[in-house]
Amino acid sequence: MKKEKILNEKTLNIVLIILFVLLNIIIKSIYLGYHNVDLDEPTTILRAEASFSDLITMLKIETNQPLFFIIMHFWIKLFGLGAISLRFLPMLFSSLAVIFVYLLGKKFSNIVVAAGASFLYSFSNINIFHAHDARVYGIFVFLACASMYCYFLMIDSENKRKYAIPLTIINILILYAHLCGVFILIIQAFYTLVISSVRKNIFKNYLLSSVITFFAFLPYIIFILPTFTNPVQQINDVVTKPTTNDLSGFLIGFSNNFNNYLWFVSIIVIFILVALITRKEISIYHKMIFGWFIIPYFLMFALSTKIHINVIRFMIFITPAFYLSIIIAVYYFTRYKLIAVLLIITCVSFMITSVDLKASYDLNVSEAVKIIRKNKTELTKVYIVPPWVSLAFSYHYNLDILKDYKNIEKRLNNEQIFLIKSVTEIDTSSLKYVENVLLLDGWDNLKALDPQHKIYRTLLKNLKTVDTVANVTGYVVYNFGFKRTVKEKFNVNQPKK
């Protein structure tokens, strides 16, 4: 009878895991190709299309490690460069991460906690958002969950080596996936050294695992160390220094909205206060799950004064711990389990009613490109501000240009398309040979790069008239042109090469 009960429970868990994976795939696939390929997504193509030797060179100025680009290199060869193809793997890994969310909840709590946390993760806008992004973050959260699950199992199991081996492999992969993967290792090392029961249990095995992980990652450390300031400076240039508002801002992002944030954080805080006052015993695994969320959250905020890593996507690896912490706090807050279940259902309903299945970058570069094509003739010059918008532009303008990653700017120049970030890069003497000039303001960066409007004024001064021919999400296209007679237009010389 007991054996039959165990089998029935195991079957139920398998069924629920499959259902949660399918739920995630459905939720995250509905609008997978809905939004334009834009922002950093074309950079994935650039890195993935590169040869191995060129990729190594590119990594010296890249904030992400090579794992995702190598995987995408082979994926693109098989399935192409369409929006759905590019985003399918991040979506799949993001969906599979729910397996470990469920298993962590079930193994170290119960089926109610497992299901509640899995629902919160499934309807998390931040995780849907990055499932729709052809970048590393879907794989990153998957590896983080897998690593923490293996680490907990190693503590709990009699056979330490059984879980030390996969833990070592996963930790090596996570370091090669993203810079912030190091925080997973920091958490685990902290637990192993500070918590006496954990230290006595797994110290030797975890030490060996850590040594192997370090030496496996050492070649990359040696490679990147001479140019380490490059990606750091790149992050610092784009991301501002943290403020106290960021501490709540990220949790609001994890919670889908401000009201959910107030509810979820209140639950965790009240649970911790009650536990301290009543001296309620909290499971060591529950403490470690709370720590998985809290330690990196505040540590990354503190470090952001030097390296501006206060970016919500960099913290995505703690979102599963946040959702587990909420449900654990709710379930163990009261001894009346019916009330606990009703509170969990309330938490889940809040996430479901605030979910955005279209969560992604809401940019419309393809429409801007169509407008440029419509207004561009053989006697047109196009200026793109800022230069890094050229990757998204090229993807929608002519994919072959983006594939030719060594000659992108040269090939754009051949089509009279120029990348600029200041007025000094405009050759005003050549403007008399054009019929019109199209200026593309990408990601609303024109004001930031040219606060005195020198680019706009210079073009207007030389070409006399201007119209806004496109004003779509994230992009504005201005059309500057001469007031010419038909005869004058006919006699305009070809632009000088």
pLDDT less than 70: residues of the chain: 1-7, 63, 226-242, 308-310, 482-497
Give pLDDT, residue 65: 86
Q: How far apart are the first and last CA of the chain?
A: 86
pLDDT given for residue 242 in this prediction: 65
- At residue 2, the pLDDT reads 62
CA–CA separation, 399 vs 81, rounded Å?
A: 9
Residue 115 CA to residue 96 CA, distance in Å, equals 15
pLDDT attached to residue 489: 42
Give residue-wise pLDDT tens across range 66-92.
999 999 999 999 999 999 999 999 999
Q: Which residues contact 207 (CB under 8 A, 6 or more apart)?
A: 192
Query: What's the confidence (pLDDT) of residue 304?
Result: 78
What order do you get walking across the sheet with 465-472 strand by strand?
Answer: 417-419, 380-385, 436-442, 475-481, 465-472
Number of H helices, E strands in the chain: 24, 5
pLDDT computed for residue 231 by the predictor:
60
Q: What is the pLDDT of residues 393-414, one digit of tens each?
A: 999 999 999 999 889 999 999 9
Query: What is the value of pTM for the model shown?
Result: 0.91
| Residue in 445, 340, 316 with CA at minimum distance from that of residue 386 | 445
Q: Are 99 and 148 in contact (CB under 8 A)?
A: no
CA dist list (Å): 323 to 113, 117, 119, 320, 455: 10, 5, 9, 5, 48
Q: Residue 452: its pLDDT value, please?
A: 92
Strands 436-442 and 380-385: parallel
Question: For 145, how many CA atoms within 13 A lie in the half-sphere containing its CB?
Answer: 29
Q: Residue 488: what pLDDT?
A: 44
CB-based burial, 267-283: b 16+ in 10 Å, e otherwise: bbeebbeebeeeeeebe
| SS3 assignment, position 107 | helix
User: Tokens at residue 139, please?
Assistant: 């794989």
Q: Give the whole-number percent of the chain exceeding pLDDT 70.
A: 91
Record the tokens describing residue 2, joined without a space: 């007991």
* pLDDT given at position 54: 81
The answer to whether 89 and 38 are in contact (CB under 8 A) is: no
